Chain A
Amino acid sequence: MKKTGFCTILLNVALVIIAISLIIPTPALSSRKKNISVITGVVASDFGMVADARVRISGNSSFSLTDKNGRFVLETPSFSSQPLTITAGKDGWFNNSISVWLGSQNANIRLYPIPNKDNQAYRFISPAVCARCHNTLAKYWDKSKMAHTTSNVKVLNMYNGTDATGRNLAGPGFKLDNPDKSGDCTVCHAPSAAATKGGAKDIETALWSPKTEWDGISCDFCHKIRKTVKTNDTPSLFKPVMKRQTPYRGNSIMVFGPYDDVVNPVMSASYSPVFDKGNYCAACHSQVGKTESKTSWDRKKVYTDTEWKNFNIGDDTIIPIQTTYQEWRGWQNSLPADDGNKGKKCQDCHMSWRKEMLPYDNYIIDGNARSMWGVKRDPENIRPHHFDGGTETQLKTALSLEIDGEIQNDILNVKVFITNTNGGHWIPTGDPMRQVMLLVSAADSQGHELKLIKGETLPTWTGVGNKDGGNYSGLPGKVFSKVLKDKQGNINVPFWKADSVDKDTRIRPKTTVTLNFQFKIKNPDDEPVAEAKLIYRPFIKSLARIKKWGIKDIIITTRAW
């Protein structure tokens, strides 16, 4: 009994020693702490302390959140020859900052709320104004498709029923079938015009208006978006919620963006987390329509229940026309929490660095602004505005192709594997006129083509005629696309005439489609070869011919066996 008591005392003493050793810093730890300074303060407003505000040293990647009393603690390296700029930002508030010296215990920052009301009569600022400071950023935007959505010839031809030469009544046209409707095209193709009170609802009016800020998807339009919400009022089923009050203070331009540390006299900036989320893009990269007959279509013939559920677009009188956002969201929802792709969003790929922009430098985002109020950032936190999508560079790595072969007596079995490697959505995505075509061929050692005896062939609408002219009808292969059908049974119709989706063979993210082909070998001792080619075509061939669109097919990749 005594022995047990002694052991207990020894154990307690040992525990106390261990506890003390944990509390008292070792020399190594304290010397590490010597290089760290602490800055404390509070974030307050006219309405009380601000909890959950993001506080950081301007430009740093790491930040602290304020507690319920608005208090924050920031750790910084203990040397600085200049005062530090401490910034604070929160969704719904204007960013603000204060300059302090190291070790300051009262870095108190005041935040002001963004206005509740939206000014619908606001006149958007032309991108030319933004380019004065953000000149490099604007340069990449100007080269992107975003800048030219209003003046896109193909969009205008499909809207008016014209061709590339301006000839009227050349193929389908929205206005030909719907002379009294605008089609809501401006909502995405000229959003500044559509969002302005009394602005143009017709894309032609927006295009020819002297208001240059109506052309394209402009800087000021995107950076006036506060958030996006679900709605039944737009073809996309999502709409941006705008907040426009400029000048807000003095001559400052009110803007929303992904940074909580942008504070300068020219821009009244407000941090908005939606800029770093996929649903920011949903307002346009989603489009649905009612069936022309207003009746149900057999969606189970085309989509699995899970795919349809992920679209989340309503009942089966609705046709999914462009579902890039839903395709991405469905893919993300299907991934387990530990998957390497979990959390990937549109901005990660379509606003990532490109080699032509190197070396890494802030100039890509700041341009002239760098020499004024620009914030030096880690390249990780910079989003170049090139918005690449459907470009040759992206297409060439979006899909991969592998081919395998096996000879059995006088038969050559060819197996082709097509994988959606880099697409976070189905490929091709967006407009249903887009196709990816697989062409497969086999030849003997003398170069003579072998005859296909089993396997799919390309449909008539890929073009009848000379193969060298891009006509692939009847050739071994497959087309990956979404095919819209009208109530008369015509396929590849424009979206406003669609009554159902006939097929949707597009390739789902990170999945592989395997196809088998059999060719007849004339000489069983011969060593035949096989070749597979993936081609991207942005429009249906017959439509491109009527509209006089000079379109070049893009060869994505070619592989041989």
Chain B
Amino acid sequence: MNNKFLFIFTIVLCCMSTSLAIAADLSGKVSPQGLRKADNILVYLTKTPDFSRPPQNEFVMDQNNLTFLPHVLVIPRNGIVSFPNSDKVAHNVFSLSRTKKFNFGSYKPGQSHKVTFDKPGIVELRCDVHAEMIAYILVMKSPYYALTDKKGYFKIDITDLDTGKYYLKTWHEKLKNRKIALDLTQAESKSMTIKLKRGAPGVLYK
């Protein structure tokens, strides 16, 4: 009886050890070819479990001086984004992306609108009357992502992720996506350098 108990205990322990939750950072630097600045590059993990309950945070995509601010906004699935108009002229924010279609129509300085983004993917934002205005909202399936700063540095908090094999992917509007296989077996921080080439950007999730 005791032997049987010991056997079951060992099996359970083995199972636990192969799916231990990691609590570490994944950081590094992205070097993009042919770009003046290395910011706004999305670095994220795929093949991870989806959000069980995405955070209900509210995000802001502002408009000022004929520019969307920020240029790239990364949000979890079901994230709510408000679109205030802090400019001196009316804007008409809209998206005809398959991830989320909406059109606020023309609205004046001081006014605002809100949208919930319930589907993961890329949303290309436009202003109907100002051709130079373009921005992206990237809607993520899981919380393991980060945007690079101006020098290309990024840091992903990978708390509560089981050990296993994942992919680290990148996205930027002017760069080819890159996919790197990652074997996360230990709860230790990893640092890496990623080189990216100019080219057609791909989709976030295949």
A residues contacting B by CB (< 8 A) are: 339-342, 344, 348-349, 352-355, 358-360, 378-380, 388, 393-394, 396-398, 400, 402-405, 417, 419, 421-422, 510, 512, 529, 531-533, 558-561
- Assess whether B96 is in contact with A510, with CB atoms less than 8 Å apart: yes
Q: Are A560 and B89 CB-contacts (below 8 A) given A341-B103, A353-B66?
A: no
Which residues on A sit within 8 Å (CB–CB) of B89? 352-353, 360, 379-380
Which residues on A sit within 8 Å (CB–CB) of B78? none
Which residues on B sit within 8 Å (CB–CB) of A388? 131
- Assess whether A559 is in contact with B201, with CB atoms less than 8 Å apart: yes
Which residues on A sit within 8 Å (CB–CB) of B106? 340, 344
How far apart are the CA atoms of A388 and B132 in the complex, in Å? 11
Contact with A along B80-116 (1 / 0, CB 8 A): 0000000011101010111000011110100000000
Task: Supply 18 A–B pairs (Cβ within 8 Å), ascending by A.
Answer: A340-B103, A344-B106, A349-B131, A352-B129, A355-B66, A358-B66, A360-B88, A378-B88, A380-B88, A380-B90, A396-B131, A421-B94, A422-B126, A422-B128, A560-B176, A560-B200, A560-B202, A561-B206
A340-B106, A348-B129, A560-B177 known; 19 new pairs, CB 8 Å cut-off, are A340-B104, A340-B105, A341-B128, A353-B130, A355-B66, A355-B67, A359-B65, A360-B88, A380-B90, A393-B132, A397-B132, A397-B133, A400-B124, A421-B124, A531-B200, A558-B199, A560-B201, A560-B203, A561-B203
Question: Is B134 interfacial (CB 8 A cutoff)?
Answer: yes
Please give me the 8 A-B residue pairs with the lowest Cβ-Cβ distance, nearest first: A340-B105, A558-B200, A560-B200, A340-B103, A560-B202, A394-B131, A379-B88, A419-B96
State the Cβ distance, A398 to closest chain B Cβ, in Å: 8
How far apart are the CA atoms of A387 and B37 in the complex, in Å? 31
Which residues on A sit within 8 Å (CB–CB) of B131? 349, 352, 388, 393-394, 396-398, 422
How far apart are the CA atoms of A396 and B132 in the complex, in Å? 9
State the Cβ distance, B191 to closest chain A Cβ, in Å: 27
Picked from A339, A353, A419, A560, the residue with its CB within 8 Å of the CB of B199 is: A560
State the Cβ distance, B101 to closest chain A Cβ, in Å: 10
How far apart are the CA atoms of A422 and B133 in the complex, in Å? 11
For the residues of B in contact with A, the DSSP-based class is loop
Residue among B92, B128, B133 having the largest count of chain A Cβ atoms under 10 Å: B128
- Residues B15-49 near A (CB distance < 8 A): none
Which residues on A sit within 8 Å (CB–CB) of B129? 344, 348-349, 352
Which residues on A sit within 8 Å (CB–CB) of B200? 531-533, 558-560
- Assess whether A404 is in contact with B97, with CB atoms less than 8 Å apart: no
State the Cβ distance, B125 to closest chain A Cβ, in Å: 10
How far apart are the CA atoms of A393 and B134 in the complex, in Å? 11
* Closest B residue by C-beta to A533: B200
Picked from B97, B108, B130, B203, the residue with its CB within 8 Å of the CB of A400 is: B97
- Assess whether A344 is in contact with B128, with CB atoms less than 8 Å apart: yes
Q: Are A417 and B98 CB-contacts (below 8 A) given A353-B89, A355-B132?
A: yes
* Closest B residue by C-beta to A402: B98
Which residues on B sit within 8 Å (CB–CB) of A339? 103, 105
State the Cβ distance, B167 to closest chain A Cβ, in Å: 11
Which residues on B sit within 8 Å (CB–CB) of A560? 176-177, 199-203
- Assess whether B202 is in contact with A561, with CB atoms less than 8 Å apart: yes
How far apart are the CA atoms of A354 and B129 in the complex, in Å? 10
- Assess whether A402 is in contact with B97, with CB atoms less than 8 Å apart: yes
- Assess whether A355 is in contact with B96, with CB atoms less than 8 Å apart: no
State the Cβ distance, A467 to closest chain B Cβ, in Å: 16
- Assess whether B105 is in contact with A341, with CB atoms less than 8 Å apart: yes
How far apart are the CA atoms of A398 and B134 in the complex, in Å? 11
Contact with A along B159-176 (1 / 0, CB 8 A): 000000000000000001
Residue among A393, A417, A559 having the largest count of chain B Cβ atoms under 10 Å: A559
How far apart are the CA atoms of A403 and B200 in the complex, in Å? 11
Which residues on A sit within 8 Å (CB–CB) of B124? 400, 421
* Closest A residue by C-beta to B177: A560
Which residues on B sit within 8 Å (CB–CB) of A360? 88-89
How far apart are the CA atoms of A429 and B120 in the complex, in Å? 34
How far apart are the CA atoms of A64 and B108 in the complex, in Å? 21
Which residues on A sit within 8 Å (CB–CB) of B202? 529, 559-561
Which residues on B sit within 8 Å (CB–CB) of A396? 131
* Closest B residue by C-beta to A360: B88
State the Cβ distance, A320 to closest chain B Cβ, in Å: 25
How far apart are the CA atoms of A54 and B98 in the complex, in Å? 45
- Assess whether B199 is in contact with A400, with CB atoms less than 8 Å apart: no
Which residues on B sit within 8 Å (CB–CB) of A358? 65-66
Q: Are A397 and B98 CB-contacts (below 8 A) given A559-B200, A560-B202?
A: no
How far apart are the CA atoms of A358 and B133 in the complex, in Å? 14
* Closest A residue by C-beta to B104: A340
Q: Are A397 and B199 CB-contacts (below 8 A) given A358-B65, A405-B206, A417-B98?
A: no
State the Cβ distance, B115 to closest chain A Cβ, in Å: 13
How far apart are the CA atoms of A12 and B201 in the complex, in Å? 73
State the Cβ distance, A215 to closest chain B Cβ, in Å: 27
How far apart are the CA atoms of A543 and B52 in the complex, in Å? 59
How far apart are the CA atoms of A393 and B131 in the complex, in Å? 7
Which residues on A sit within 8 Å (CB–CB) of B96? 400, 419, 421, 510, 512
- Assess whether B88 is in contact with A404, with CB atoms less than 8 Å apart: no
How far apart are the CA atoms of A341 and B92 in the complex, in Å? 9
How far apart are the CA atoms of A485 and B91 in the complex, in Å? 42
How far apart are the CA atoms of A558 and B202 in the complex, in Å? 9
Which residues on B sit within 8 Å (CB–CB) of A510? 96
How far apart are the CA atoms of A403 and B124 in the complex, in Å? 13
Picked from B94, B97, B98, B206, the residue with its CB within 8 Å of the CB of A340 is: B94
State the Cβ distance, B85 to closest chain A Cβ, in Å: 11
State the Cβ distance, A339 to closest chain B Cβ, in Å: 8
Picked from A354, A531, A533, A559, the residue with its CB within 8 Å of the CB of B132 is: A354
- Assess whether B103 is in contact with A355, with CB atoms less than 8 Å apart: no
How far apart are the CA atoms of A340 and B104 in the complex, in Å? 6
